[in-house]
Amino acid sequence: MHPVTEFRVVLYKHLIRPLVFRLDAEKAHHLTLGLMGLAVRVPGVFALLCRLWKTPQTAPTTCLGLNFKNGVGVAAGLDKNGAYLRVFEAMGFGFVEVGTVTPRAQAGNPKPRLFRLKASEALLNRMGFNNNGMEALANNLQRYTGSMRIGINMGKNKDTPNEEALNDYLLVFKRLYALGDYFVVNVSSPNTPGLRALQEKEPLSKLLSGLQLANPQRKPLLLKIAPDLSNEQLLDILELAQTCNLAGVVATNTTLSRAHLVEAAEVVEALGAGGISGEPLRARSTEVLEFLHQQSRGTLPLVGVGGISEAHHVREKLQAGAQLVQVYSGLVYQGPTLVRELVKGFS
């Protein structure tokens, strides 16, 4: 590691992170991104941060029929409302998946709902699709003029019955169609009651087919899946990917499993329900990638998510069949210089 880069990593891990980690996890999230969002609006600061954070080398990647300046992206959930795109561009990300966005704004689940499992380098969340709605996201995307690709992760409002879910997804898809480079159907979050039932073959087929009928330009439409699916369910996903002409699959969302956590079971249980992301998810998400890649014989584009915090984790996902990767928890634990490290995994 370059001495300057090493200094920045040490500065984050031993000075900035301990201070930030004194705060509630969700408050820290909004405070840090909010401050950086204000900073990049100051003349000259964006260029300064680009030099401070951005990886000097590029790793151009082509996937989904799109060209990416590099294959490292921000996973959905980190910037639900598209409010911090300039911040992530300064860090050097090749793309950002905004959302999950729903037609109407919603508050999400009661707080506290985001927790750090520091010994495991993991997060537990039960956010519940909190976001400002599709109109607020549209306004933010219309103002963005940078070079990153934009993916839009779509969900349904909590009070929309599953039988009417297609209407919600169509509202979001049509409203934001001109503003996204690709779109992701999220039916795999564990934090909206009943949502994962939409991963079953019949309702999912109806949902995906309905969206493709509203996709005249054939913009890339992907599906984000849970890591907790069985092989039989994954085979159903592959069948639907073919029959519904999906552009790819994002693997994976957070897990309900409590395996591979360092913290004592009673400590985790006391935090309550929610999905786990970060290091404990890494092996399973890679297994799912590998299964999908092998069973599709490499014909289905895959986006790898789960436990990525080092360059060799990127290589692991790529070897398993991913063409792009996304991070969330890794950024929380490793800091803004992470992109510089992860891009090396593509070389």
Catalytic residues: 189
- Measured in degrees and rounded to the nearest 5, phi and psi for residue 98 equal -85, 165
> Within 13 Å, how many C-alpha atoms sit on residue 97's CB side?
29
Q: Which of 254, 188, 181 is nearest to 223 (CA)?
A: 188
Q: Tell me the H-state helices in the chain.
A: 3-11, 17-20, 25-39, 45-53, 85-91, 134-143, 165-176, 201-213, 231-243, 265-271, 282-295, 311-320, 329-334, 338-343
Between CA 43 and CA 50 the distance in angstroms is 13
Q: Which position has the token pair 């499992």?
A: 117
Q: What CA–CA distance (Å, rounded) separates 51 from 17?
A: 21
Q: How far is CA 220 from CA 184, 210, 338, in A?
A: 8, 14, 27
Cα–Cα distance for residue pair 79/96, rounded to 1 Å: 8
Q: What spatial distance separates the first Cα and last Cα of the chain, rounded to whole Å?
A: 15
- Provide DSSP, 137-187: HHHHHHH--SSSEEEEEE---TTS-GGGHHHHHHHHHHHHGGG-SEEEEE-
- C-beta atoms surrounding 18 within 10 Å: 10
